[in-house]
Structures are given as C-alpha cells and as structure tokens.
Chain A
C-alpha cells in the first residue's frame, strides 16, 4: 500500500472518529440533557441549539487537508473520548482555590468549576450601577429576554466546529453586561477551575460580554486546574462593544499539563470602540485559540497581543481572523512565542481588508524564540487587501538566543541557565508589559520564569 493511500485512509478514520465523537456529544447536549432549564421560555435557544447541531452534522470534519487545522491534528483530542460534564461539582471550598489566585490582585471574582458557575467560590463584591454579572444558566432562567438576540449572535454563522459544539452543548458560563456609560473600575476576574474526574470530561463554558455605548471594563480571564488532570475545555466568548466602549481583556491560559483547551472568541466592535486583549498561553498539552474580530462602526481599534510558551509535547495554536469591512479602523496583532524541547506552536493570522475599508491601519507581527533543535513553529501571517488606500504590514521572525548576549551576561558572573532565562524574559517582557495591572504583570513574569526554570534550556 502506498504512503499516500495509507495517509488518506488514516484521515478518513480520523474524520469518522471525530464525527462519532461529535455525534455522541451532540446527543448528550440535547436541551433536556443540559444544565440550562428547558422548561423556561427559551424556545429561541432550543432553536439555536438545534441549528448548531445541524451545522455540526452538515459540516465536513476537518482533516490534515483543511487549512485551518493543517498544523493542528485532532486525532489526539478525539482519542481521549471526552464526555460531557454532567453534574456540577460543589465540594470545593474557598481555601482550595487560594493557591491559584493572583497575589495582590484586587478584582470582582467569578469562579467556574468544570464549566459551572460557583456562587460559593465567587466573590463579586459590590458592583457599580449599570453592571450585571452572573451565571448564564441562572440568567436564562430569570431573565431570558435580556439574552435573546444577543447570545449566539456573534458566534452563530460561519463559526468553526467547536464553537457550534459549544452552542449545542453549552450549560453555563458568565454573563457581563454593562449599560450605556457604565464604568467598572475594578477588574472582573473570571476563573475557570478544572478538577479531574474519573472519566475525562469536556466542559463547555459560554461567556457573554456586552458593553453599551461608552462603557468601560477590564476583564481578566484565567483557565487553571488543581493538579495535572486530563480534561478538555471548549469555551466560547462573545464580546460586543458599543460605540466608544473600552475593554481591556487579559487571558491567561494555564491549564493542566495534560489538558486540551479550545477557545473561540468572537468580538464585535462599534464605532470608536477600543479593545485591548493580551493572550498568555502557558498550559495544556494541546491548545487552540481562535480570535475573530468584526467592526460594525468606523474608527474602532482592536489590539491583540499574545505570548506563548510551548515545551515538551505541547502544542499551542493561535488563529486570528480580523476582518476590516469598514473604513478607518485599526487593528494590531503582536504575538511572541518561546519554544523549547519538542514544543510546537502555530500562529495563523489573517487580516482581511475589504474594498470599501479605506484608511485601514493594520499591523501584524509574530516573533519566535526557539531554544531547541526539536521545537517547531508554523507561522503564517496573511494580509488580504482589496482597498487601495491603507497602511498594512506584517512580519514574522524565528530566531535563537544570541551567543553575544549570552556571553555578555555570563561574563558578569551569571550562570548560563539564568542568563538564558533572563534573555527569554526580556523577549517576553514586551507582551507582559502590555498587561494593565501590576499584580498581573508580576504574576505572569513569575509564572513564565518558573516555566523557563523547569525547562531544559541547555
């Protein structure tokens, strides 16, 4: 048998296995089987779920030939046979989560355990006027009208499989609604805590963040686990910014070293709004993030930054899809990666500028520091430009630690391993500095330093 036939047979098998897995999950996710109460008046949501399930069935299952999954195989994910989390986990106490908190971070804190909102672990404190924070499942019960036409609006059409799966199966998540002009001064921290179960489970949190015109907020979103459990997180965020709204959004992916992580983030920005997202990817054995941005008004600014560390056996994948359909908006993507051992990373950034999107200002860069011969990065920045009066740039680099710099530090008495760590942190510092809380910057610096200290950098 030729290698080509063999490989195509494997792909077919993978596709079948994936379809089977999705089917099982889709079945489990029928409205009656979810945490969202099917009794209440949510016909619209049932319809959305139904449509998502149909999309799942209709959509071709990605293989190695599918462009957006080309460097990120799904086989290892499918082979785990993850099943839907069913029961909420309520045995944890606030002491249990102390070890995963960011020291000195003053924030309204919402905690989800295995994808379910935990009122007992959350400390929302006093919220300012015009700000609503709460559990998605509770809000669907108490005030479903507030969510109709909002939930699933951004992640609906054209979304990839995992977002559709989330829509079909979502149980809970966090809702953050800011009325026009509302101001959230303290940040809100969303902690996704995962705890290992007997069977490998997938949690599918669904978050909705909506800022009315002129509203401002800071969100810190963290994925973390107790121990090194095997589980999967398939999370979806829908973020809508009204005119002149401002959101800063720190995202810390610190899943367990055995975890699979999927995030699909859908962002919609109205005129003059500003979004600044900093994505820190440290954890998981297999992590895929899709960041999708659309502008619905002019003069909006979208700033996406990221730092990823991929060590042995790890795969970290960031996909971006930034679409300029209107004039005068700006977007920036700046991602940096450090790879070591047999670590792998994927950066795939698409900036699309439609014919009418004149005066678009878009810049994309991806820089990678590779510390071992066996590490690998597949980086693919793409500009598709159909307007003729724009300012667009992209650049990508893959390099190593400079021997000159290493020698300079060592000539001052600093050990080779600390010198390498200092240079890596220096490289990462530009992204860490973009975090807008000092407590968070210190924490991330420490986390990155710890990871590098344990990494075989020699």
Chain B
C-alpha cells in the first residue's frame, strides 16, 4: 500500500529526514517511535503535503501513485488521512458543513455521487454510533474552543467519515489524559479493517497499550534504525531510547 524509499527532506537548510525506508501492507498498523527531534512529525507532514518541507531525495508511493506529485487535497482524495497532533481551530466554519464539503470532494474525485443532506446525516449518525460519540461537537465551528480531548475525538470522527486507506496518527496521545486516550484509541480500533493501514507516530509506548501495532520502528536522526514487533515498544519503555540511538552512533 505505502512504499517509502530513501526519503530525504529538509526544513530550510537543515536535513531532517536522511534516507527513510518504510513498507506498509494493507491492514497493517505500524508504530513509529523515537525521541524528540528524530523527524517523526516531519515524516507525517511530508507524506500529507504540508508546506515548509523540501523533499530532496527518495519517493513515497501510495498504491503505486507518487505522493510528491500531488497537492495535499489530491493525496487526501487518494485515501491518505492525517490526524493532526494540533488540530487547527476554524472559527466560523461549521463542523458539519466542513465534513460534508470534505466528504463530497473526495466522493466527487472518485466519480461517486455527492451526498445530499439526508444521506449525509444518516452516515454521520451511523459513524457516531460506531465510535460511541454524541453529536454535540458537530454543531460547533471546527475545533473552535474544543478541549484537547474533543479535538482528538473530532480527528478520529473525520477519519471515520472519510474512510481513508492509510491513516497517519501524529502524536494522537499528546495532551490526553488516560480516559480521553482510551476513547480515542477505542475509536481507532473500531476503524481497523483488513483494507485500512495506519501509521501511529508516538513518543510514548502508552498509546500502544491501547492501539496494538503489528510493527514498531524506531526513528532517530531521520532514519529508521530498528524495526521489530510490538515487544520492541515495551523494550523502549523499559530502557529508553538511549541504548539504541547511542548504539547506532557508536
């Protein structure tokens, strides 16, 4: 599904990603862990097309399509979804209107009929039920005045509505207390399917207690320096990042 080869990227003059390789097959969940400044968020942003990064080498293909040839909205229509670490507040933009515009943009690009108000509402109710959410967030402007937990729940709800092929969760656990974390993780788990892949970017092992990955990768200094199963996350929790990162450097 996702194939990243030799990816290098700069922010300004500084090289952040220094030759990153990653293969994600359908239905797999990959966790990317690493210390602060290792390039985790940069990787998520570069894949989704945020401005401010320059890709200097390598490629990223989603089902064979080169992501770097596409605008952010085209990547989303192809099935890429980024759950933001810091979801943006959009005062004055109604959440429901926003979701309907997003969903219809994606459907239109696939040659599907746009949803009318009735079928949109039906789908929305169905997804709310799956995620055990109420509709109180929908009538408000997007993320505006939301608590940290509400923002992250809104991200997961958008993911449920847009049904991506590949979801990247960027530090979804940051700023959440344990109850909020559980709600968000339950949502993510409800969206697991044999066709949908996920990349979970996180600093802490904690999130992986709730979202169990198939693979764990350690990112340091812009490269994946170790990959393993979910037991690798536990080892990191116990020993910290130092032993791998320093070992690599030595």
Interface residues of A (CB under 8 A from B): 402-405, 407-416, 418-419, 422-423, 425-430
Q: Which of B19-27, B57-65, B88-96, B210-218 contacts A (4 or more CB under 8 A)?
A: B88-96
Chain A: minimal CB distance from B91 (Å) = 6
Interface residue B236 (Cβ < 8 Å from any Cβ of A): no
Q: Does B141 lie within 8 Å of A422, measured CB to CB?
A: no
Q: Does A418 lie within 8 Å of B92, measured CB to CB?
A: no
Q: Kindly name the residue among A416, A422, A427 whose own CB sees the greatest number of chain B CB atoms within 10 A.
A: A422
Q: Does B105 lie within 8 Å of A426, measured CB to CB?
A: no
New A-B contacts (4) at CB < 8 Å, excluding given A412-B162, A419-B73, A423-B93: A410-B72, A422-B97, A425-B93, A430-B91
Q: Does B109 lie within 8 Å of A407, measured CB to CB?
A: no
Interface residue B76 (Cβ < 8 Å from any Cβ of A): yes
Interface residue B158 (Cβ < 8 Å from any Cβ of A): yes
What are the residues of chain B within 8 A of A410 when measuring CB–CB? 49, 71-73, 76
Per-residue interface assignment for chain B, residues 40 to 55, with 1 indicating a CB less than 8 Å from any chain A CB and 0 otherwise: 0000000011110000
Q: Kindly name the residue among B84, B87, B102, B109 whose own CB sees the greatest number of chain A CB atoms within 10 A.
A: B102
Chain A: minimal CB distance from B17 (Å) = 19
Q: Does B102 lie within 8 Å of A408, measured CB to CB?
A: no
Considering the chains assembled together, what is the distance between the CA atoms of A423 and B76 in angstroms?
19
Q: Does A426 lie within 8 Å of B73, measured CB to CB?
A: no
Contacts A415-B73, A418-B105 known; A429 to B84 CB distance under 8 Å? no
Q: Which residue of B lies closest to A418 (CB)?
A: B101
Could you jot down 16 A-B contacts, CB within 8 Å? A404-B88, A407-B88, A408-B88, A409-B98, A410-B71, A410-B72, A411-B50, A412-B102, A413-B102, A413-B103, A414-B101, A416-B71, A416-B73, A418-B101, A426-B90, A426-B93
Partner of B72, one of A411, A422, A428: A411
Interface residues of B (CB under 8 A from A): 48-51, 71-73, 75-77, 81-82, 84, 87-88, 90-93, 97-98, 101-103, 105-106, 109, 141, 158, 162
Considering the chains assembled together, what is the distance between the CA atoms of A416 and B70 in angstroms?
13
What are the residues of chain A within 8 A of B105 when measuring CB–CB? 412-415, 418
Q: Which residue of B lies closest to A403 (CB)?
A: B51
Q: Does B73 lie within 8 Å of A430, measured CB to CB?
A: no
Chain A: minimal CB distance from B50 (Å) = 5
The 9 closest A-B pairs by CB, nearest first: A426-B92, A413-B76, A412-B102, A429-B92, A426-B93, A408-B88, A410-B72, A413-B106, A413-B105
Q: Does A414 lie within 8 Å of B93, measured CB to CB?
A: no
Considering the chains assembled together, what is the distance between the CA atoms of A415 and B76 in angstroms?
10
Q: Does B87 lie within 8 Å of A411, measured CB to CB?
A: no
Q: Kindly name the residue among B49, B90, B141 whose own CB sees the greatest number of chain A CB atoms within 10 A.
A: B90
Considering the chains assembled together, what is the distance between the CA atoms of A56 and B151 in angstroms?
61
What are the residues of chain B within 8 A of A430 when measuring CB–CB? 91-92
Contacts A416-B73, A418-B101, A418-B105 known; A411 to B90 CB distance under 8 Å? no
Chain B: minimal CB distance from A126 (Å) = 36
Considering the chains assembled together, what is the distance between the CA atoms of A423 and B117 in angstroms?
21
Chain A: minimal CB distance from B120 (Å) = 15
Q: Which residue of B lies closest to A422 (CB)?
A: B93
Considering the chains assembled together, what is the distance between the CA atoms of A403 and B72 in angstroms?
13
What are the residues of chain B within 8 A of A402 when measuring CB–CB? 88
Q: Does B109 lie within 8 Å of A408, measured CB to CB?
A: no
Chain A: minimal CB distance from B52 (Å) = 8
Considering the chains assembled together, what is the distance between the CA atoms of A415 and B123 in angstroms?
22
Contacts A403-B51, A407-B72, A408-B87 known; A413 to B109 CB distance under 8 Å? yes
Q: Kindly name the residue among A408, A419, A423, A428 whose own CB sees the greatest number of chain B CB atoms within 10 A.
A: A408
Q: Does A427 lie within 8 Å of B92, measured CB to CB?
A: yes
Q: Does A411 lie within 8 Å of B48, measured CB to CB?
A: yes
Chain B: minimal CB distance from A404 (Å) = 5
Considering the chains assembled together, what is the distance between the CA atoms of A407 and B105 in angstroms?
15
Q: Does B92 lie within 8 Å of A413, measured CB to CB?
A: no
What are the residues of chain B within 8 A of A408 when measuring CB–CB? 84, 87-88, 90
What are the residues of chain B within 8 A of A413 when measuring CB–CB? 73, 76-77, 102-103, 105-106, 109, 162
Considering the chains assembled together, what is the distance between the CA atoms of A419 and B72 in angstroms?
12
Considering the chains assembled together, what is the distance between the CA atoms of A414 and B93 in angstroms?
13
Q: Which residue of B lies closest to A427 (CB)?
A: B92
Considering the chains assembled together, what is the distance between the CA atoms of A423 and B88 in angstroms?
12
Chain A: minimal CB distance from B33 (Å) = 23
Chain B: minimal CB distance from A435 (Å) = 15
Considering the chains assembled together, what is the distance between the CA atoms of A439 and B40 in angstroms?
49
Chain A: minimal CB distance from B156 (Å) = 13
Partner of A414, one of B51, B102, B141: B102
Q: Does B76 lie within 8 Å of A412, measured CB to CB?
A: yes
Q: Does B101 lie within 8 Å of A422, measured CB to CB?
A: yes
Q: Does A426 lie within 8 Å of B72, measured CB to CB?
A: no
Q: Does A426 lie within 8 Å of B102, measured CB to CB?
A: no
Q: Kindly name the residue among A407, A412, A418, A423 whose own CB sees the greatest number of chain B CB atoms within 10 A.
A: A412
Q: Which residue of A lies closest to B50 (CB)?
A: A407
Chain B: minimal CB distance from A305 (Å) = 15
Q: Does B88 lie within 8 Å of A405, measured CB to CB?
A: yes
Contacts A408-B90, A413-B105 known; A422 to B98 CB distance under 8 Å? yes
Chain B: minimal CB distance from A414 (Å) = 5
Q: Does A414 lie within 8 Å of B73, measured CB to CB?
A: yes
Considering the chains assembled together, what is the distance between the CA atoms of A408 and B48 in angstroms?
10
Q: Does B90 lie within 8 Å of A423, measured CB to CB?
A: yes
Q: Does B51 lie within 8 Å of A407, measured CB to CB?
A: yes
Chain B: minimal CB distance from A371 (Å) = 16
Chain A: minimal CB distance from B36 (Å) = 21
Q: Which residue of A lies closest to B89 (CB)?
A: A405
Chain B: minimal CB distance from A376 (Å) = 24
What are the residues of chain A within 8 A of B102 when measuring CB–CB? 409, 412-414
Chain A: minimal CB distance from B67 (Å) = 12
Considering the chains assembled together, what is the distance between the CA atoms of A419 and B91 in angstroms?
13
Q: Which residue of A lies closest to B45 (CB)?
A: A407
Q: Which residue of A lies closest to B107 (CB)?
A: A413
What are the residues of chain A within 8 A of B81 when measuring CB–CB? 411
Q: Which residue of B lies closest to A402 (CB)?
A: B88
Considering the chains assembled together, what is the distance between the CA atoms of A418 and B106 in angstroms?
13
Considering the chains assembled together, what is the distance between the CA atoms of A428 and B93 in angstroms?
10
Chain A: minimal CB distance from B181 (Å) = 22
What are the residues of chain B within 8 A of A403 when measuring CB–CB? 51
